[in-house]
Structure 1
């Protein structure tokens, strides 16, 4: 299980690895911003993998290559790609917030080809160019490479109008990671603001997390890697050690409920 990168925006790198390791996570996610922040604090980028390994962790996911972005972000994209060789993450994440669908698909395919030894997972979001699971599947098909994959974020899955019935072999065979968190409907709040600022721990909101995980277990038997990202401005005011512990406890609890549900309903 991974403590997702956006759980600790603006946290010092040593604090990130200490909290994740102490709470029993197997891996962490990293963003290019966190890597640059570590560099600014005097920690050479080449030291990051050693520090992470010494803490008993691995880099599960590296974020984020922004497809179709022609502005200054392209330099950040280049740094993310350069870091793949240094950090050696289990997977590289990408998304598209600007541009046309066809161009995003072409750039995704090229990204997969540039990093053949690393799974490259596209994240669909209802407010992005890749709006839903079907669009993500089309991207993977267009790429046509073994490393093309999908980030299955529970919030984006439900908020894009997807239903539990869509969690079938056709989708799940391409899922590199399942990202968990939770939300509750708030009148007047846009989907992007909700996803980026108002999430909570798995099982604490109104999403059918147990049903979601139960269906995945019934289809796949073994769950894909789990990353937990309760992205929240409010939770960022708490000590990271507290957030990390709560992430672990709530996620284990919801996974236990899903496994029990699957065992009671599987013939």
Structure 2
């Protein structure tokens, strides 16, 4: 068991605020204490339509005292109009200098996904390129994502480990080994509240999330398992994607996202430190 701090930077996730303007997001993130923000290609296109050049977006982020934690999304295996957005993400990566670029695939065969993932990794190297597995996309589990990364054999091929997708895909804490976590670029945190009428996995993931630790997922056990196994500090991204939260003031949501994360981490680290003391 390692004794380093198990978690590092905290990013305000890219699609927490899907329809908010970028200046407001940056202000809320900074005031809530986030170190970095996620940016989507859609936000950048919307800014461009308002006459804001990509270089100006980069400058605004720097002026806010933030950096880009994650840039998304490249859609693998999609030969339609998405290829234009994909090319734009690659261009934006050189301008925004994110910590990582996120990719995913829907409806494509795993072999085709692997080939294109390897190509994107080579194109963006050495920038980490992280695949986000989901139980309803082409790579539906953490185990399958690990197989994808290992088959790619690119040093910058990584995984987005989303807590909701981890649990909904039937993954187990035993999978969170030191070797597996060495391939994880970021852990995304949120939560969900169980309802009598269970929504579809897509509906739940895209519209029904809440703050980390505020729902019914075993968030504490998840973070403790990572803390025990990780040999290097793992970055966090907070993404409580919710139609309901989007109706609230942006500043309020950003502040509660940070506070709920800090409360959850405090509980997880207390247990981690107690275990480390016993080991030593």
Query: Normalising by the residue count of structure 1, what TM-score does the alignment of the two structures yield?
Result: 0.98
Are 2:173 and 2:225, in contact at CA under 8 Å, matched by a contact in 1?
A: yes
The equivalent residue for 2:273 is: 263
Counterpart selection for 1:56 from 40, 58, 65: 65
The equivalent residue for 1:158 is: 167
CA drift of 1:99 comes to: 1.1
Give the distance between the partners of 1:233 and 1:89, measured in 2 at CA. 27
Question: Residues 5-32 of structure 1: CA distance to partner in whole angstroms, max 9, x if unpaired?
Answer: 1111011111011000111100000000
Counterpart selection for 2:218 from 208, 214, 231: 208
Give the distance between the partners of 2:250 and 2:198, measured in 1 at CA. 29
The answer to whether structure 1 residue 26 and structure 2 residue 47 are counterparts is no
Give the distance between the partners of 1:219 and 1:263, measured in 2 at CA. 13
The equivalent residue for 2:242 is: 232
Question: Residues 167-216 of structure 1: CA distance to partner in whole angstroms, max 9, x if unpaired?
Answer: 11121010000000001333341101100000000011111111111111
Are 2:139 and 2:145, in contact at CA under 8 Å, matched by a contact in 1?
A: yes
The equivalent residue for 1:189 is: 199
The equivalent residue for 2:84 is: 75
Give the distance between the partners of 1:69 and 1:22, measured in 2 at CA. 38
Q: Extract structure 1 runs of 4+ deviating beyond 4 A.
A: none
Counterpart selection for 1:103 from 102, 109, 112: 112
Give the distance between the partners of 2:67 and 2:236, measured in 1 at CA. 14
The answer to whether structure 1 residue 137 and structure 2 residue 140 are counterparts is no
Of residues 94-103 and 185-194 in structure 1, the stretch that sits farther from structure 2 once superposed is: 185-194
Are 1:178 and 1:225, in contact at CA under 8 Å, matched by a contact in 2?
A: yes
Classify the secondary structure of the residue corresponding to 1:259.
helix
Does the C-alpha gap of structure 1 residues 102 and 27 become closer, same or farther in structure 2, counting only changes over 3 Å? Answer: same
The equivalent residue for 1:87 is: 96
RCO greater where, 1 or 2, for CA within 8 Å and sep 6 or more? Answer: 2
Q: RMSD of the alignment, in Å?
A: 1.0
The equivalent residue for 1:177 is: 186
Counterpart selection for 1:46 from 37, 47, 55: 55
CA drift of 1:221 comes to: 5.6
Count of matched residue pairs: 267
Unmatched runs of 5 consecutive residues or more in structure 2: 1-9
The equivalent residue for 2:5 is: none
Are 2:73 and 2:104, in contact at CA under 8 Å, matched by a contact in 1?
A: yes
